[in-house]
Chains A and B, each alone.
Chain A
Amino acid sequence: MKFLPMPFHTVLLFVVWLLLNNSMSVGHIVLALFFAITIPMLVNGMRDEHPKILKPWKAICYVLMVMKDIVVANVEVALWIIGPVKKLKPGFVAIPINIQSDLGITILASTVSLTPGTVSAEVSEDKQWLYIHALHLDNGSELIETVKQRYEKPIKEIFGC
């Protein structure tokens, strides 16, 4: 058995344990190390294969960009909500996607839900189309282009698929 089968999850468990207890005492660090090493060993056999993050730096940039977009999109949506509802033009849009991995599609769908005034509703069974509902749809093809350029391309690069 490998000593650290899931290094990322090991770090995550370690940090989350310390955050939950909100302390840096020696006892908690030892306990966190114990959990962080044993739990991945126990659950390693249960998980599916995920694509590896190939470009960690790019991933951090992506997270920061999404954070910024969340704030911008939130203010925009809040203004739409307060403003005249009659002027809003909601609509469903189908976005063609070419990410194969489930993890990539999940991240793309979550990002789309959190950012530009859209909520992802469904993924087609063949994983070719992402259906989204937009609160205010001016130009469908423009929205598709934005999602593909701004969010799908970096995800594809990060996972290299």
Chain B
Amino acid sequence: MPLYLEIIICVCLLIGGLFLLVGSYGLARLPDIYMRLHSPTKASTLGITGVLVASMIYQSYSKGFLSIQEFLITLFLLITAPVAANMIAKTALHHRTKALEKTQGQALMASIRERQAPNSTQDAD
């Protein structure tokens, strides 16, 4: 394998692994469920994309033709990650999980749960 390809693969893998680690670290570290939602949906998506790109380049090289089937997984995860996050947020709101004390616009939570318009003037912040 030529050196430049190896370097590209290594960089992609390292970026991917780092972002996956950061995403899980945020999941373990952040204080409340609504904040925890952010780290897997964002950091992990980019992390998995990095690993998939590395895999794509490596498989293309070792097979001798352009193998972009890994692209399917990336696309699938990019489409499903926000949907999953949205459903988990709904579940947390439905179960009346308390947000962190300092969260702004907590008055909105009741109207979010009922899926109603926010009460006239309190336009968050």
Given contacts A88-B35, A90-B99, A131-B108, contact A140 B123 (CB under 8 A): yes
- A interface residues, tally (CB under 8 Å): 44
The range of chain B's interface size is 35 or more
Q: How far is the CB of B122 from chain A (nearest CB, A)?
A: 9
Q: By DSSP majority rule, is chain A's interface helix, strand, loop, or mixed?
A: mixed
The interface bits of chain A over 68-110 (1 if a CB of B lies within 8 angstroms of the residue's CB, else 0) are 0011011001100110010011111110000000000000011
- A50 vs B25: C-alpha distance when bound (angstroms): 40
Contact of B104 among A90, A109, A120 (CB under 8 A): A90
Q: Is A94 in contact with B118, judged by CB distance below 8 angstroms?
A: yes
Question: Is the beta-carbon distance between A89 and B42 smaller than 8 angstroms?
Answer: no
Whether the Cβ atoms of B105 and A121 lie closer than 8 Å is: no
Q: What's the Cα separation between A110 and B83 when bound, in Å?
A: 7
Q: How far is the CA of A73 from the CA of B96 in the complex (A)?
A: 29
Q: How far is the CA of A81 from the CA of B46 in the complex (A)?
A: 14
Contacts of A109 in B (CB 8 A): 82, 86
Beta-carbon nearest neighbor of B71 in chain A: A19
State in angstroms the CA–CA spacing of A90 and B103 once bound together.
5
Cβ of A124 within 8 Å of any chain B Cβ, yes or no, is: yes
Q: A81-B39, A110-B79 are contacts. A124–B117 as well, Cβ < 8 Å?
A: yes
Contact check, B85 vs A129: say whether CB atoms are below 8 A apart: no
Nearest-Cβ distance from residue B97 to partner chain A, whole angstroms = 12
A119 at the interface (CB under 8 A from B): yes
Contact A140:B105 (CB < 8 A) given known A70-B45, A78-B19: yes
11 contacts between A and B (CB under 8 A): A78-B26, A81-B26, A90-B34, A90-B35, A90-B102, A92-B124, A113-B82, A114-B45, A120-B89, A122-B90, A139-B125
* Residue ranges of B at the interface with A (Cβ–Cβ < 8 Å): 19, 22-23, 25-26, 29-32, 34-35, 37-39, 41-43, 45-46, 67-69, 71-72, 78-79, 81-83, 85-86, 89-90, 93, 99-100, 102-106, 108-109, 111-113, 115-118, 123-125
The 5 closest A-B pairs by CB, nearest first: A91-B104, A140-B125, A113-B82, A81-B26, A74-B46
